[in-house]
Amino acid sequence: MLTARLVDNIWSTRKTDLLRGYKLMLVEVIGGGSNEGERLVAADIIGAGVGERVLVATGSSARRMVGDDSMPVDAAIVGIIDEDCEF
């Protein structure tokens, strides 16, 4: 799972019917690590908005979150971060 900030909406005039009904968002990975700053497209299944910090599931976990292992999804927004905690 990754932490990311929503950068923008992705608009697609043509896409597979399997993605119909899913909002696609451009996310930028935050929170340190080797992939900080990386940008990717994620399916938004919870209704997050641009500028929010979110949790992103990737790979087969993302496909399970959209409810179908055959979906062409590599990343899914699965949570909105309200505040950070320090341990």
Q: What CATH number does the domain containing 14 carry? A: 2.40.50.220
> What domain count does the chain have?
1
Q: What is the dihedral of CA 60, 1, 66, 21, to 10 degrees?
A: -130
Q: Is residue 38 part of a domain?
A: yes
Mean pLDDT on 9-23: 87
Q: Is residue 87 part of a domain?
A: no
Pairing of strands 23-30, 39-44: antiparallel
Per-residue model confidence as pLDDT tens digits over 26-39: 999 997 778 899 99
pTM for the model: 0.86
Per-residue model confidence as pLDDT tens digits over 56-84: 999 888 888 878 777 889 999 999 998 76
